[in-house]
Amino acid sequence: MNAVFKQEDFPPRNLGDYMELTINRYFTDLDGQPGGDLYALVMQQVEKPLLEIVLNHTGGNQTKAAEHLGINRATLRKRLREYNLI
């Protein structure tokens, strides 16, 4: 007997799983229409909340936030300015 599996039978286990679900939904919603600048869209949608969450976790300490993120503090400050977070 062949079992029919649905997506909800396999809940996401990690960020990659969530990305796969989200990007597949994005393409489904496009319904064959051309998309645009998907990389920039994803980076903006992911990076800003990531920075906000890490900064909140570190109580606004940019040095600690940069360490958690594995990036230079100057790079962090640049990104924070890009997203109007400072």
Q: Look at residue 9 in the predicted model and tell me its pLDDT.
A: 63
Confidence band for 8, pLDDT divided at 50, 70 and 90: low
1 has a pLDDT exceeding 60: no
29 has a pLDDT exceeding 70: yes
Q: Could you say which of 1.10.10.60, 1.10.530.10, 1.10.150.120, 3.30.360.10 is the CATH number of the domain covering 8-82?
A: 1.10.10.60
Confidence band for 35, pLDDT divided at 50, 70 and 90: confident
In the chain, what is the straight-line distance between the N-terminal and C-terminal CA atoms, in Å? Answer: 59
Q: Look at residue 51 in the predicted model and tell me its pLDDT.
A: 98
3-class SS letters over 18-32: HHHHHHHHHHHHHCC
User: What are the residue ranges spanned by the domains of the chain?
Assistant: 8-82
